[in-house]
Structure 1
Amino acid sequence: MDLAAAPPALLVRRHLYLGGAWADPTGTEPIDVENPASGETVGQVPAGTPADVDRAVAAARAAFPGWAATAPAERAAHLDRLLAALTARADDIARTVALELGTPLKLAARVQTSLPLTVLRDCVELAARPPAEETIGNSLVVREPVGVVGAITPWNYPLHQVVAKLAPALAAGCTVVLKPSELTPLTAYLLFDAIAEAGLPAGVVNLVPGTGPVVGEALAAHPDVDMVSFTGSTATGRRIAHLAADRIARVALELGGKSANLILADADLPTAVKVGVGNALLNSGQTCTAWTRMLVHRDRYDEALDLVARAAAAYRPGDPFDPDTRLGPLVSAAQAERVRGHVDRALADGARLVCGGPDAPLPPRGHFVAPTVLADVHPDSALAQEEVFGPVLAVIPFGDDDEAVAIANNSRYGLAGAVWSADADRALAVARRLRTGQVDVNGGGFNPRAPFGGYKQSGLGRELGPYGIDEFREIKAIQR
């Protein structure tokens, strides 16, 4: 298949996936799927209803005892067949993500497609291992699957965020009802095509597309859903936590971030800036872990701003299917408008425009925002405190390590961050002081087996690797 081939004119999916088969929805309303690079409708999926959620949860509940009792090696074999079926669709996945989200095609293939396949491959291996048991005195401590999981996933990584919930939940012995984002549902349908081909037992995985206020709320509040796993905004996570709390259901929440990139005085400045800008602009800034606050020692601040401006200028906005494009559109007109509002407010608050901004040239169509760098951003300002979720970088000066740590920790979020220093021990010492779930030291690479999650309002629980599977288990003590 030609990866860059033009996508079909309209992708229409008319069914839900319930009890191991494609099924008609109870409602008749469709959801239009937009190409954010052009504003054109490129697909449709059904708008699920609470009645559809009831059907999906009933199927998952009926399938749970058998799946929970399935031997770990057999569950791993099912996941391995899913991995093969999904891998065969890798080109279609990359093209679909580029179409419905606007991620440049090269990035869609390298990150949006390859990363979830890596996560699924790891889960195949981990699923084959029986859960650990231990003896404490006269007690045998065992781990068991939590039950039916409601998975509610976001639009910015439409396959990875699904696989990061679905694969470990299945590995743990849980059954799942998935509600993907209504902005990027077509990628989830490719996943369920693979699920159908792989022949997972009926009811183990179910799909109900729809909106958050309808399907998401029905799933989060459903009395037969034992656990809700959600990735998205902190505001929506708070609502889901309330719905689940009303019935004392477990939640795992992967929420917002406002991560700081600390570039200490002795750092390799060109490398730190280049990597930092790339991280902040990844997926057009629509990444919860993005290092959107760049903290630079005052002695190197002006030099850093020059480097930042040159690095950001290399991210040319354009058609996601153009191989020269490095920055795609934002997912929707509303998201683009929201990001522009953050920039306008920051300029009104006294931030200095380094590059980009409201007058920068953009493609004539689509929901584009220019890569924008703002300097002299006050640590307490809205731009330094609020998640923008767009290609906007705030640069903040500091005087010493203590001030850098104080600025970094001056946030209600705590998801990710970075530290750069020529002294590895110094960088590690600073990293330990950051109140955040992940920290990269001198460009340390992302590890898909390490625990992923946040402190403070960035969420509850952990995803990925063995920690991600344990999130979907209960702990039982048996006295003998």
Structure 2
Amino acid sequence: MIDASMGEIMVTLEKINWILKHGDSILEPSKRPGPANMLMKYKNAQVWYEPLGVVGAVVSWNYPFHNLMGPIIAGVFSGNGVVIKCSERVRWSSEFFMSVVKGALKICDIDEDLVQLVCCWGKDADAVSGNPRLDHLTFIGSRPVAKKVVKKASDILIPVVVELGGKDAVIICDDYMKQKGVDSIASTLLRGAFQSAGQNCIGIERVIVCGDRNNYELLLTRLKEKIDMFHLGSDIDQGEEIDMGAMIMGGAKFDELEGWISDVEAQGKVRVLCGGKRYVHPNYPQGHYFQPTLIADLDPNSAIAQNEVFGPILSVFYAADDEQGLEIANNSEFGLGGAIFTTNMKKGFEMTRSFRTGNVAINDFATFYVCQLPFGGIKGSGYGKFGGEEGLRGLCNEKSVCFDKSQFISTSIPGVIDYPIKSGKRAWTFVSSMNKAAYDYSLFERVKGIYNLAKNAN
């Protein structure tokens, strides 16, 4: 319930309040500088943001409330109808959340049919991603499914924003560990790695400790101490305090996780300090529980270090210095989020510029999402952005509009270039002079160009 309150309710409340506070100004016509050409300075240039029509979102199951509400909030505020395709794994909760949305629309005297929910098996999902009545599509999910969605959407040539998860790394610089110690950073790492049992696209999967190896070992010790005290279970009907609940996926997913861990254990150098296996809960034997797992000394190129785990597994690496730390962090096909911990902000900014990822938090974990910045990744984590100003405007037709600043000055076609052309030579002299007057670096040539314009205008 704690994880849901933070990962579902808090971020949704933040999105609603942020859009209510800033959305109108974001969607106001945007004034632009206009042409650099001094002869065209009588023109105003603006971008108008108008609804696209009907926007769709195919969303994942890991945050069924927020992933449904986010596209609806942005879509409706920007003036669009919205169609949500939820995962078949969360149909019941999605239908309940949608009834809340429709109730809110009704109270506001807005047609509740403005938003619609679709739930179907994956084999039938082309009816959504390839629907010609959609004007935009957001996809949140896995890479294999994304390829199918984008391929179908290409048939109707609609824009698609694709968010495909990540392999987020946290780089902890030596200066930070020396000044701040391990306790505070350990708490941040555990929250980032094990919230929602690790089923979080911007969850922490890799931790890279730079510099002093003693700090690396101290952090591992502290993490192990805290993980060993975790309680697994369900706080819905269980009296004891629960740190981590069950996962949505079990079976084949657990086979995959255990297989990756067995592979690196067989190499001999890796330390599996906690967990590493599925867990049969005595009160909930049918629940999909996996032990919170801590792994150290991994080969950065191993399968578990390269693939998105999307489960309660935290891998910790040692790097001799910050440069090697960045090298390990960037050694991934994914590029969604990441974090850098340092007491030197100048260094933090420099490292951020070299971090090949779409979002970075400095001295924090994933707060770029709460800050309502545009959210999206690079490389294998997808393309395009939702959230923030860019996400809201991305659900609009960005219409470019120019008009005269005054009714007394407007564009007219000079006689020398009016059809039919009477003298090609004079017309060429005119347009050449126009370009010189507008763009030449020499003031003398500009003045000369204006003179020739006036001389050859008729």
Q: Does TM, scored on the shorter chain, surpass 0.5?
A: yes
1:212 aligns with 2:122: yes
Q: Secondary structure at the match of 2:103?
A: helix
5 Å matches for 1:311-330? 311-321=226-236, 322=238, 324-330=241-247
Structure 1 unaligned regions, length at least 5 = 1-104
| Alpha-carbon distance in structure 1 between the residues aligned to 2:162 and 2:324 | 30
What does residue 166 of structure 2 align with? 257
Query: Letter of the aligned partner of 2:217 in structure 1?
Result: D
What does residue 258 of structure 2 align with? 340
Say which of 276, 301, 310 aligns to 1:357: 276
1:227 aligns with 2:136: yes
What does residue 291 of structure 2 align with? 370
| Alpha-carbon distance in structure 1 between the residues aligned to 2:352 and 2:359 | 9
Query: Letter of the aligned partner of 2:328 in structure 1?
Result: I
Alignment coverage as a number of residue pairs: 375
| Alpha-carbon distance in structure 2 between the residues aligned to 1:317 and 1:400 | 36
Whether contact under 8 Å (1:448, 1:464) holds in the other structure is: no
1:382/1:144 CA distance change after superposition, 3 Å: same
Say which of 149, 154, 163 aligns to 2:60: 154
1:470/1:352 CA distance change after superposition, 3 Å: same
Q: Secondary structure at the match of 1:404?
A: helix
Q: Secondary structure at the match of 1:395?
A: strand
Say which of 209, 223, 241 aligns to 1:308: 223
What does residue 206 of structure 2 align with? 293
What does residue 470 of structure 1 align with? 393
Query: Letter of the aligned partner of 1:309 in structure 2?
Result: K
What does residue 436 of structure 2 align with? none
Whether contact under 8 Å (1:262, 1:420) holds in the other structure is: yes
1:174/1:368 CA distance change after superposition, 3 Å: same
1:477 shift after superposition: 2.2
What does residue 150 of structure 2 align with? 241
Whether contact under 8 Å (2:254, 2:278) holds in the other structure is: no
Structure 2 length normalisation: TM-score?
0.77
What does residue 133 of structure 1 align with? 30
1:177 shift after superposition: 0.9
Name whichever of 227-236 and 349-358 sits farther off: 349-358
Query: Letter of the aligned partner of 1:294 in structure 2?
Result: V
Structure 1 length normalisation: TM-score?
0.73
Q: What does the per-residue CA deviation read over 1:343-380, in whole Å, with 9 as the maximum and x for residues that have no partner?
A: 23332344321111228774451110000011111111
Structure 2 unaligned regions, length at least 5 = 36-42, 404-458
1:430 aligns with 2:343: no
| Alpha-carbon distance in structure 2 between the residues aligned to 1:158 and 1:175 | 20
1:316/1:237 CA distance change after superposition, 3 Å: same
1:141/1:278 CA distance change after superposition, 3 Å: closer
What does residue 84 of structure 2 align with? 178
| Alpha-carbon distance in structure 2 between the residues aligned to 1:345 and 1:307 | 26
1:391 shift after superposition: 0.2
Say which of 353, 374, 383 aligns to 1:451: 374
| Alpha-carbon distance in structure 1 between the residues aligned to 2:258 and 2:51 | 44
1:314 shift after superposition: 3.2
Whether contact under 8 Å (1:182, 1:211) holds in the other structure is: yes
| Root mean square deviation of aligned Cα | 2.1
Where is the helix percentage greater, Structure 1 or Structure 2?
A: 2
What does residue 101 of structure 1 align with? none
Query: Letter of the aligned partner of 1:405 in structure 2?
Result: L
Whether contact under 8 Å (1:405, 1:433) holds in the other structure is: yes
